[in-house]
């Protein structure tokens, strides 16, 4: 491959001023729960820069929220992650799509991966706190849904709220 091809490939990820403006508008619209409008802005940005990981990732999230096409949204977000595996925002969007799809375990792993990339980025931390961290069942040899684990879990939770330490 010549240097020109490498340069063109790297430019495909940079975007232009216009595409960045469209992307920033889309982010603002998503934050205001106007996902359909955000998706239209992202479509315009992707026409300018079709392989930009951030644009693909947010477009995938919008697709999952708006049309509930989770498989297509997941594929878009996964391709964005392959294009830039070091961008925590891209991984957070993939995690959100996975959570919407019902795969909480995979979403958790994506949020952890994003957090490990940049521990100061607010996205992974807020998503992890939104998911909550569950303690293991009190009786590990029984399923979490067993009545004994439910009762003992409530006792443990009450004791922890009172400042008592039970067990481990």
Q: What would the pLDDT profile of 87-117 be if each residue is shown by its tens digit?
A: 999 999 999 999 999 999 999 999 999 999 9
Token digits of residue 102? 């019902």
Residue written as tokens 């040899």? 141
Q: What is d(CA 96, CA 30) in angstroms, rounded to the nearest whole number?
A: 13
Q: How confident is the model at residue 165 (pLDDT cuts 50, 70, 90)?
A: low
Q: What is d(CA 73, CA 92) in angstroms, rounded to the nearest whole number?
A: 13
pLDDT in tens, 29-58: 999 999 999 999 999 999 999 999 999 999
Q: Which residues, in sequence order, are CB contacts of 86 under 8 Å at separation 6+?
A: 117
Domain 3-133 fold: 1.25.40
Q: Tell me the CB-side half-sphere exposure of residue 54, using CA atoms within 13 A.
A: 17
DSSP sequence for 107-143: HHHHHHHHHHH-TT-HHHHHHHHHH--PPPPSSTTS-
Please tell me whether residue 27 adopts helix, strand or coil conformation. helix
Token digits of residue 124? 């992974």
Domain with CATH 1.25.40.10 in the chain: 3-133
Overall residue count recorded for the chain in this entry: 168
Hey, how many other C-beta atoms are within 10 angstroms of the C-beta on 111? 27
Q: How confident is the model at residue 8 (pLDDT cuts 50, 70, 90)?
A: very low
The residue with greater pLDDT, 11 or 140, is: 140
- pLDDT value for 19: 94
């Amino acid at each position: 491959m010549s240097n020109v091809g490498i340069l063109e490939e790297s430019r495909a990820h940079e975007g232009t001023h216009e595409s960045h403006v469209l992307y920033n508008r889309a982010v603002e619209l998503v934050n205001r729960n106007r996902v359909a409008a955000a998706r239209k802005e992202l479509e315009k940005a992707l026409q300018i820069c079709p392989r930009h990981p951030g644009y693909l990732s947010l477009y995938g999230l919008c697709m999952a929220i708006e049309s509930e096409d989770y498989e297509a949204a997941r594929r878009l977000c996964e391709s964005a992650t392959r294009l830039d595996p070091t961008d925590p925002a891209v991984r957070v969007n993939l995690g959100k799509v996975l959570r919407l799809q019902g795969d909480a375990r995979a979403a958790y792993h994506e949020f952890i991966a994003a957090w490990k990339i940049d521990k100061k980025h607010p996205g992974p931390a807020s998503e992890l706190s939104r998911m909550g961290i569950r303690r293991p069942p009190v009786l590990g040899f029984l399923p979490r849904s067993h009545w004994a684990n439910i009762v003992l879990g409530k006792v443990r939770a009450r004791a922890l709220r009172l400042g008592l330490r039970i067990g481990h």
